[in-house]
Amino acid sequence: MSIFAAGLGLQTTDGNGNVLEVYFHKAFVRTEQNASAVDDFVKIAGWFYSGGNKTICLAPYQIDKLIEAFSEHTGTVTFLEGARDAHERMVVTILETDEAPQSVAEAYLKLTLLSSRAIQPHGQSLDGIFAVLPNVAWTNEGVVSLDELPARQLSARANGGVLHVYAVDKFPPMADHVVPSGVRIGDASRVRFGAHLGEGTTVMHEGFVNFNAGTKGAGMIEGRISAGVMVGANSDLGGGCSTMGTLSGGNNVVISVGEECLIGANAGTGIPLGDRCTIEAGLYLTAGSKVSILDENGVETSNVKASELAGKSDLLFRRNSQSGKIECVTNKTAIQLNEELHANNWQTQSTCKKVP
């Protein structure tokens, strides 16, 4: 039987047995390369598995069998051995097909696939994920159900400590589950689990990345990547800049940013950008804005809605500081300006191209 994806995790439940979160230490999509290992895994881990999308608790003898079968997969063995003492919380989730997640475990498996780069944003179904995920408190003692929070808080206080609640949300911060290779994150509370950060991405303290969104490659992210938005390699999102989310004002158009773009500080875009585009600091380009297209002599050649420029490359957008008009410079002029702007932003370093 062919499957779509699977994972080995540890679940956390509340006092009533409701699953609050599943930590998948190992999660994978079945590919040509790993097909035989995955099939072995399903055969053993899924002892009672007979198809469909299922989450199964593992018995100790299955754990031992898996350790034997995967003796050559160091990571899997490490997990199995490390989690053996917590075997009553150990689960395997097997997804035969990529359908909308139906359980907390299925949702967390799919978020893990995103953040560990096993799958790209928009590469799988996340329909209805908000209805599946419980709203919980993320604390220094781990996940806590909101019903049990006051009693836990009291208990911590009575013992002279404090239960520090760092979020009340359906999604934990990504870094408590997955830290992919080659990234820096100034404030981990601002990258939601399910974000996809490409190798070489730095998310500065003012940056933000929602789930099912992120960067394809390297990038300097000091602005906000809304749910569903993808940013191409080597682009620079300036401090506090905004990308309109598909859920919030972006209508039906999925916003995206191409490669080698620069969105200036406190700027924003309501249209998808092609490659090598620049938006001047402080300018918010909404889809409905009228834009004057200038030739290389600065003469207006046409006047269009910003939405008509969606996805086009080599554009520089600015607001004329004397007339208040939103202008767009194209072609060579734009490319040169873009290169100029980038020249100061990127430095050659082993771990990061730009170094704020």
**200 lies in the site for a copy of itself, by CB under 8 A:** no
Phi then psi for 203, rounded to 5 degrees? -105, 110
CB of 125 to a copy of itself, least distance (A): 15
Q: Is 222 a catalytic residue?
A: yes
What does the block give as tokens for 56?
A: 């199964």
CA 269 – CA 57 distance, rounded (Å): 46
Using CB under 8 A as the binding rule, whether residue 248 contacts a copy of itself is answered as yes
In the three-class reduction of DSSP (H, G, I as helix; E, B as strand; rest coil), residue 78 is classed as helix
Q: Which lies closer to a copy of itself via its Cβ, residue 181 or residue 297?
A: 181
Count CB atoms within 10 A of the CB of residue 200.
Answer: 19
Contact between 291 and a copy of itself by CB under 8 A: the answer reads yes
Task: Kindly tell me the burial class for residue 241, based on how many C-beta atoms sit within 10 Å of its own C-beta (0-12, 13-18, 19 or more).
Answer: buried
Residue 229 near residue 271 (C-beta atoms within 8 A): no
Q: Is 206 in the site for a copy of itself (CB under 8 A)?
A: yes
Would you count residue 25 as binding a copy of itself (CB under 8 A)?
Answer: yes
By CB under 8 A, tell whether 354 contacts a copy of itself.
Answer: yes
Residue 99 Cβ vs a copy of itself, minimum distance, rounded to whole Å:
19
For residue 178, list its beta bridge partners. none
Q: Is 336 in the site for a copy of itself (CB under 8 A)?
A: no
As a whole number of angstroms, the distance between CA 343 and CA 80 comes to: 48
Task: Identify the DSSP state of 129.
Answer: H
> Is residue 140 within the footprint of a copy of itself (CB under 8 A)?
yes
Closest approach, Cβ 332 to a copy of itself, in A, equals 18
161 vs 311, beta carbon nearer a copy of itself:
161
Three-class secondary structure of residue 247 per DSSP: coil
- When asked if residue 146 is in the footprint of a copy of itself (CB under 8 A), the reply is yes
The one catalytic residue among 21, 206, 222, 260:
222
Q: Which of residues 249-268 bind a copy of itself (CB under 8 A)?
A: 249-252, 262, 264-268
Q: How far apart are the first and last CA of the chain?
A: 50
Nearer to a copy of itself, 186 or 217 (CB): 186
Q: What are the backbone angles phi and psi of residue 326, rounded to the nearest 5°?
A: -85, 125
Smallest distance from the beta carbon of 302 to a copy of itself, in angstroms? 13
DSSP for residue 143: E
Kindly state the DSSP code that residue 308 receives in the 8-state scheme: G
Site for a copy of itself in 160-179 (CB under 8 A): 160-170, 173, 175-176, 179
List of residues 6+ apart from 205 with CB closer than 8 A = 186, 187, 190
Q: By CB under 8 A, how many residues form the interface with a copy of itself?
A: 113
User: Which residue from 51, 150, 298, 311 is in contact with a copy of itself, where contact means CB under 8 A?
Assistant: 150
Confirm or reject binding of residue 320 to a copy of itself (CB under 8 A): yes
98 binds a copy of itself (CB under 8 A): no
Of 16, 158, 297, 299, which one interacts with a copy of itself (CB under 8 A)? 158
Q: Using the rule CB under 8 A, is 1 a contact of a copy of itself?
A: no
| Residue range at the interface with a copy of itself (CB under 8 A); choices 44-52, 55-63, 97-105, 216-224 | 216-224
* Nearest distance, CB of residue 29 and a copy of itself, angstroms: 19
Q: What mask, x for binding a copy of itself by CB under 8 A, covers residues 56 to 85?
A: -------------------x--xx--xx-x
Q: Are 32 and 6 in contact, with CB atoms under 8 Å apart?
A: no
Short-list 295, 311, 90, CA closest to 303 = 295
Residue 37 makes contact with a copy of itself by CB under 8 A: no
Amino acid at 44: I
Torsions phi, psi of 263, nearest 5?
-100, 120
Residues catalogued as catalytic: 222
